[in-house]
Structures are given as C-alpha cells and as structure tokens.
C-alpha cells in the first residue's frame, strides 16, 4: 500500500520549492548546502520525506527566511475545507511556482519594495480573481 504524504509536509515542501526557485537555486545547490543529495531535496519538496526541525532551520537560514515562512497559508487540522460555494483557497497551493509566468510574476513582485504598492497589487489580483470566479 502506497503511503500518502501528509498535507502539511506537502505544503512545507512546496514553500521550500517556491523560495528556492524564486532565488534561482537548483535542487543540487540546496542539497549541497544541506549536505544531502538533490534527490533528497526533491523528496522534501514533494512532501514524501518530512523535514525535521533542525533541517528546517538549516533550510530557512540558507534561503534567508524565517522558519514560519514555510507554514504560511497552511491549513490547521481543525480548519474546515472550503464549501462548494466558496472559492478555492489558492490556485497555487502545492503547485506554485510551476510555470514561467508564475516565476516571472513572483520575481517581479519580490523586487517591489514599497509595501503600500505591494498591498495594492495584492488587492488588485484578489479582485480580479474574485471576478473570474463569479463570472
């Protein structure tokens, strides 16, 4: 019987992948920094292998983010799944970034330093996404 990865492990792994790709790093480069193979990094990113606390700290140091970054947007066990009338939580969950458009958008957004401008862009994208769901 095939073991299914824990959704939190998948979420954390997808956030590792997102940050690694945004920084333009290969799985091999991250693996070298951690002292593991790129195959192990692949397993971390897919959530098939859990990332221990000390390894997560090592990853967060190398990728220059707080360990909490990897849990941003994760649902708790007690959180209800979206109902049929609700929009999906995120089109990117577990998949972001995959396409060249995702990466280009993320890289461009990361270069914007003005927090007010960043907030307005997020508001715009959320409004556009809501309109797309309701049309």
Q: What is the pLDDT of residue 115?
A: 85
Give the separation between CA 113 and CA 116, rounded to whole angstroms.
Answer: 9
* Rounded Cα distance, 62 and 58, in Å: 6
CATH 1.10.260.40, applies to 1-75+88-98: yes
pLDDT of residue 60: 95
pLDDT value of position 45:
94
pTM: 0.62
**Tokens at 97, concatenated:** 């970034």
Residue labelled with tokens 């971390």 = 44
pLDDT (tens digit per residue) in 27-40: 999 999 999 999 99
Per-residue pLDDT tens for 89-127? 443 444 455 567 777 787 788 788 888 888 898 888 888
45-101 confidence digits (pLDDT tens): 999 999 999 999 999 999 999 999 999 888 765 554 444 333 344 434 444 555 677
Domain boundaries, the chain: 1-75+88-98, 99-135
pLDDT at 26 over 90: yes
Residue 99: per-residue pLDDT: 65
What is residue 102's predicted lDDT score, i.e. its pLDDT? Answer: 75
122 vs 119: CA distance, rounded Å: 5
């Amino acid at each position: 019987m095939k073991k299914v990865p824990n959704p939190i492990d998948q979420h954390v792994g997808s956030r590792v992948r997102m940050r690694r790709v945004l920084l333009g790093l290969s799985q091999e480069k991250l693996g070298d920094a951690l002292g593991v193979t790129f195959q192990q990094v692949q397993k971390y990113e897919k959530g098939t292998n859990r990332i221990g606390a000390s390894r997560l700290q090592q990853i967060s140091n190398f990728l220059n983010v707080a360990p909490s970054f990897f849990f941003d947007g994760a649902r708790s066990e007690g959180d209800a799944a979206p109902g049929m009338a609700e929009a999906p939580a995120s089109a990117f969950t577990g998949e972001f970034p995959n396409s060249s458009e995702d990466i280009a958008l993320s890289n461009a957004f990361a270069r914007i330093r003005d927090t007010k401008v960043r907030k307005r862009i997020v508001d715009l994208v959320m409004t556009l996404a809501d309109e797309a769901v309701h049309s």
